[in-house]
Amino acid sequence: MKQIYGRPKILKEAHFHYCPGCGHSIVNRLIAEVVEEMKLRDKIICVAPAGCGMLLYNYFDIDTLESAHGRGAAVSTGIKRVLTDSLVFSYQGDGDLAAIGTAEGFHAANRGELITVIFVNNGVYGMTGGQMAPTTILRQVTTTCPAGRNPDSAGHPVKICEVFSMLDGTSYLERVAVNKPAAVIQAKKAIAKAFQHQINKTGFSLVEILSPCPTNWKMDPIRSCKWIDEVMVKEFPLGVIKEVTC
């Protein structure tokens, strides 16, 4: 019998700790598939965040290091500058990259570090219980903006791809989603493309992934997926934000 679908070998037998309907589990699987298909296991190093993605080392059968909250891009920089032929990526949430680690991400991008950031944007701080994130949509309710995000006091959603696109060191920035099959296929392509940019040494690459957090959005998984299309995508348009030909 010909097997047409199965578990990527890069994914260990462990059970995901993610909540039902969480986008992290899809993103984890996509990364594992890409690593396997591109035959990267021998040279890839993953830098895990503080956030719901922090237990990546339990799932990936690749060298993985946990970073302090927000410092993934700086840690990746240190690794990649030593192991110039390796492939290094940090996996970061929106609190991780767009709040506490903005400086590290921004300057790694500006220096054109040959690293990739997989940026999971779920609009909230998932791990700590659903507080407001820099990417929370205006008027979206979270535990720390119970009346909805008010731009007068809490500012506006941060658009990392658009901000980073102004930096000459960046070579590939795409925003995708994992809320429906076609989007998931596109997300996988974007991850592969970002890795390819790193391999080709064209510059800093980042894939921003709009990802459902049903638990903290207080929606069921199906509603969460729809909400991405109906609300989130209007604030964070999908597509390639920047691509420098390699």
Partner 1 sequence: MSGNAALGEAAVLAGCTCYFGYPITPQNELTEYMAKRMAEVPGGVFIQSESEIAAINMVLGASVAGARAMTSSSSPGISLKQEGISYLAADELPAVIADMVRGGPGMGNISPAQSDYLQATRGGGHGDYKTIVLAPASVQELADLVPVAFDLADEYRNPVIILGDGMLGQLMEPVSFDHIKPPAEFPKDYILNGAKGRPSRMIHSLLFDTKLEEEHNWKLYRKFQRIEQNEVRFETFMLEDAEMVVIAYGTSARIAKGAIKRLRQENLKVGLIRPITVWPFPTEIIQETANRVENFFVFEMSTGQLIEDVKLALGGKRHIHFYGRPGGVIPTPIELYRVTSRHYYQAVREKSQ
Binding site for ligand TPP (CB under 6 A): 50-53, 69, 93-96, 120, 122, 124-128, 133
Cβ-based neighbour number of residue 113 at 10 Å:
24
Q: Does 242 bind partner 1 (CB under 8 A)?
A: no
Residue 19 contact among ligand SF4, ligand TPP, partner 1, none, beta carbon within 5 to 8 Å by kind = ligand SF4
19 in contact with ligand SF4 (CB under 6 A): yes
Q: How far is the CB of 126 from ligand SF4 (least distance, A)?
A: 3
Cβ distance to ligand SF4 smaller for residue 19 or 138: 19
- Cα gap 231→245, rounded to integer Å: 32
Q: Is 38 in the site for partner 1 (CB under 8 A)?
A: no
Q: What is the DSSP letter of 36?
A: H
Shortest distance, CB of residue 175 to ligand SF4, whole angstroms? 18
Give the rounded distance of the alpha carbon of 89 from its chain centre: 10
Q: What would the DSSP string read from start to end of 106-152?
A: HHHHHTT-S-EEEEEE-SEETTTTSEE-TTPPTT--BTTBTT---HH
Q: Is 126 in the site for ligand SF4 (CB under 6 A)?
A: yes
Question: What is the residue type of 146?
Answer: P
Q: What are the structure tokens assigned to 59, written together?
A: 């799932």
Q: Residues in the site for ligand SF4, rule: CB under 6 A? A: 18-19, 22, 24, 52, 122, 126-127, 213-216
